[in-house]
Structure 1
Amino acid sequence: MKPLYWTRIQLHPRKEAVSSLVWETIEEPEMDFDEFVQLFSKTAVKEKKQPLSDTITKSKAKQVVKLLNNKRSQAVGILMSSLHLDMKDIQHAILNLDDNVVDMETLQVLYENRAQQEELDKIEKHMKSSKDKENTKPLDKPEQFLYQLSLIPNFSSRVFCILFRSNFSESMSCITRKLDILQRVCKALHDSRTVKNILGLVLAFGNFMNGGNRTRGQADGFILDILPKLKDVKSSDGAKSLLSYIVAYYLKNFDEDAGRETCVFPLPEPHDLFQASQMKFDDFQKDLTQLRKDLRVCTLEVEKVCKVSDEDNLQPFKENMEDFIAQAKSELEILDTQLGSTHKLFLELTVFFSVKPKTGEKEISPNTFFCIWHEFSSDFKDQWKRENKVLLKERLKAAEDSFRQAKEKASYNVKPKQASGIKAKLGMKI
């Protein structure tokens, strides 16, 4: 229990009771302290367990049987030393799908280092041959460890299913996040009024600059690859670029919140565009195909475990894994539909901006399309921040000037004009 740091009072027999003490009349009642213990007990300190290697009996004999090669034996030995667990903890975690003591990372390492069939055959052969024989050399610790792992009912199949269930959720979330970014960026570029306003400015200034040119003038649009090059088009004195001029013009003429904290960046964020540029629809398809394949393997492993397990070890594995498989199939169908709609949305966007595939490409790739927008958005944002700071300073200066003028006007007093005519002089004499 947590301590209560008080100063105690102890009652002693008194010769003369001048006045009674409250403590003399109080008796401690009988109470149920279960809830109190839950509320005020100390946080239990986890028992510091010895390394797993120390829990395996070390033979007194000087010689032991080594069935593993040196490299493999050393790797298993290091693993045993790093795991501060009991074998019963590992068995409990696997049979009850409990990751409170043995986490997924540990299970992954155990699964990767499990005994291969060839190794297990050698170990079991030695165990049988040495049974009931005196003075037989015992197995080395790594071999004992692998053998004890193999005694956990359906160790390999169960751990594979547990790990797949954990990784499946993470993989699905990762794909969903990427598709959400792609959809958000595609919709912003397709529907945003501010994006269209900026492209309209580029078109207007470009047409003006190309006026009279037969091949470049009077354009109705332009290939997007010019966007990242706007920063390289300099003014006559070299002080400004075409991009910085367009940004300043946009803020002054299209954005009512320019120079204020409420001013919103008018293009998709460069970070989102960069992430979108790194995605490939072929990779999404490969990931989903692999997940379906692994789910089929997991289903077969679950069926195998359920078929050979006795009643005591069947639950909660059977119920949990069957629920997971049913949900996983449904989630894969939903994600497959989402991937199809996102792909369609992207292809419509490339048509929308008149972007054509590069030579050798069947269709335009997200990298080809979004790299242009990422570079343009990054350059635009740098200039946008600078221009906003300039406008903010101008607003502050204007506000300060207005305040100063108002203050000066309030402090200016008009003295009344004194009368100086004959009537005023006669009035003064009276």
Structure 2
Amino acid sequence: YDQKSLSVVFLELLKPFIPSDFEMKLLVNYENDGRPLEDLADEDQFMLRFGKIPHLSQQINTLTFVGNFPDTVKRLQLQLDSIISASMSIKSSTKLKKILEIVLAHGNYMNSSKRGSAYGFRLQSLDLLLETKSTDRSQTLLHFITNIILEKYADLANFHTELHFVDEAALVYLDSIIQDICSLERGMEMTKEVQDDSPVLKKFIKTNSKKLDSLMKHGKTAQEAYCSVVDYFGENSKTTNPSEFFPIFGRFIKAYK
């Protein structure tokens, strides 16, 4: 398991050349029949020699896993951090809560003649603030509310500074991250099974097992933080993805600015 000689890029290039059992059977039968190997195409000659390496597919998959592990963990860690930070900051922001109360109050005022006051609203309704315009169509409801905030609630004007990594979290597919973490678990188990007397694999396992455990815990924390903030706003965390939830706040902040 020489990672210096076999880069991840090179290993990925080798994968298409791993012969299937059927292909290997044909090539071995050809060789056993005593037919000249030089009559084979260069690709088939390479595949025959390549396919004779013991546990070829397993070795390449293990080396690829080991080589990709650091970058994969780093990528997933950053994505989980954005979910956790965005979820916690949105839920804990007192200024955002007051801004939404102001939005609700104006919504109730506008609809007071139609029905009784509402105790809340769906987050998707924030998008309607730009679509709802005054009778002369000179300004939107968001313009009106923004002016009210600036004039009477100046301390709330910078509410968006309390919200962190909202745009980054909007790009994350949490279910996909959890699947990637499960894939890393399987890869680590596979590596443990084939480590034998390989000092390289033994060192890798010793160095990175705790990192994987930490990533798994981080994944659970991200799931809990996300479900908590979605449920807090009355949405369904089981059917609402981060790519649907966080953009609502991203669009609202952008429009507000």
Shorter-normalised TM range: 0.7 to 0.9
Question: 1:299, 1:325 within 8 Å by CA — same for their partners in 2?
Answer: yes
- 1:230 maps to 129
What is the Cα deviation at residue 191 of structure 1?
Answer: 1.3
- Per mean C-alpha deviation after superposition, the further-off stretch among 114-123 and 234-243 is 114-123
1:326-365 mapped onto 2 (5 Å cutoff): 326-353=206-233, 355-357=234-236, 363-365=237-239
1:198-209 mapped onto 2 (5 Å cutoff): 198-209=99-110
Question: What letter corresponds to residue 217 of structure 2 in structure 1?
Answer: T
Question: 2:131, 2:140 within 8 Å by CA — same for their partners in 1?
Answer: yes
1:37-60 Cα deviation digits (max 9, x unpaired) = xxxxxxxxxxxxxxxxxxxxxxxx
Return the TM-score normalized by structure 2: 0.79
Match 2:19 to one of 105, 112, 115: 115
Q: Kindly tell me: are residues 287 and 200 of structure 1, through their superposed partners in 2, closer, same or farther at Cα, counting changes over 3 Å? A: same
Q: Per residue, is there more helix in 1 or in 2?
A: 2
Secondary structure at the aligned position of 1:130 is classed as coil
What is the Cα deviation at residue 242 of structure 1?
Answer: 0.8
- CA–CA distance in 2 between the matches of 1:116 and 1:189? 52
1:78-106 Cα deviation digits (max 9, x unpaired) = xxxxxxxxxxxxxxxxx53215xx53222
- 1:289 maps to 182
Q: Which has the larger radius of gyration?
A: 1
What is the Cα deviation at residue 378 of structure 1?
Answer: 1.6
- CA–CA distance in 1 between the matches of 2:248 and 2:235? 19
What is the Cα deviation at residue 227 of structure 1?
Answer: 1.4
- CA–CA distance in 1 between the matches of 2:246 and 2:52? 58
- 1:381 maps to 254
- CA–CA distance in 1 between the matches of 2:37 and 2:247? 68
1:21-420 mapped onto 2 (5 Å cutoff): 95-99=1-5, 102-127=6-31, 129-130=33-34, 138-140=38-40, 141-150=42-51, 155-211=56-112, 213=113, 215-217=115-117, 219-255=118-154, 265-266=160-161, 267=163, 271-276=167-172, 279-281=173-175, 283-303=176-196, 306=197, 318-353=198-233, 355-357=234-236, 363-367=237-241, 371=244, 373-384=246-257
Q: Kindly tell me: are residues 228 and 178 of structure 1, through their superposed partners in 2, closer, same or farther at Cα, counting changes over 3 Å? A: same
What is the Cα deviation at residue 171 of structure 1?
Answer: 3.2
Number of equivalent positions = 255
- CA–CA distance in 1 between the matches of 2:81 and 2:88? 11
Q: Kindly tell me: are residues 270 and 239 of structure 1, through their superposed partners in 2, closer, same or farther at Cα, counting changes over 3 Å? A: farther
Question: What letter corresponds to residue 163 of structure 1 in structure 2?
Answer: T
What is the Cα deviation at residue 128 of structure 1?
Answer: 5.0
What is the Cα deviation at residue 337 of structure 1?
Answer: 1.8
Q: What residue ranges of structure 1 are gaps of 5+ in the alignment?
A: 1-94, 307-317, 358-362, 385-430
Question: 1:157, 1:302 within 8 Å by CA — same for their partners in 2?
Answer: no
Return the TM-score normalized by structure 1: 0.51
- 1:4 maps to none
What is the Cα deviation at residue 255 of structure 1?
Answer: 4.5
- CA–CA distance in 2 between the matches of 1:223 and 1:121? 62
What is the Cα deviation at residue 117 of structure 1?
Answer: 3.9
Q: What residue ranges of structure 2 are gaps of 5+ in the alignment?
A: none
1:127-162 Cα deviation digits (max 9, x unpaired) = 45539xxxx573422232223434667644432211
- CA–CA distance in 2 between the matches of 1:153 and 1:139? 25
Q: Kindly tell me: are residues 123 and 225 of structure 1, through their superposed partners in 2, closer, same or farther at Cα, counting changes over 3 Å? A: closer
Secondary structure at the aligned position of 1:382 is classed as helix
1:393-424 Cα deviation digits (max 9, x unpaired) = xxxxxxxxxxxxxxxxxxxxxxxxxxxxxxxx
Q: Kindly tell me: are residues 382 and 348 of structure 1, through their superposed partners in 2, closer, same or farther at Cα, counting changes over 3 Å? A: closer
Secondary structure at the aligned position of 2:19 is classed as coil
Question: 2:191, 2:201 within 8 Å by CA — same for their partners in 1?
Answer: no
- CA–CA distance in 1 between the matches of 2:57 and 2:238? 44
1:210-250 Cα deviation digits (max 9, x unpaired) = 44x48432x44333232111112211221111112222333
Question: 2:124, 2:248 within 8 Å by CA — same for their partners in 1?
Answer: no
- CA–CA distance in 2 between the matches of 1:338 and 1:320? 27
Question: 1:274, 1:374 within 8 Å by CA — same for their partners in 2?
Answer: yes
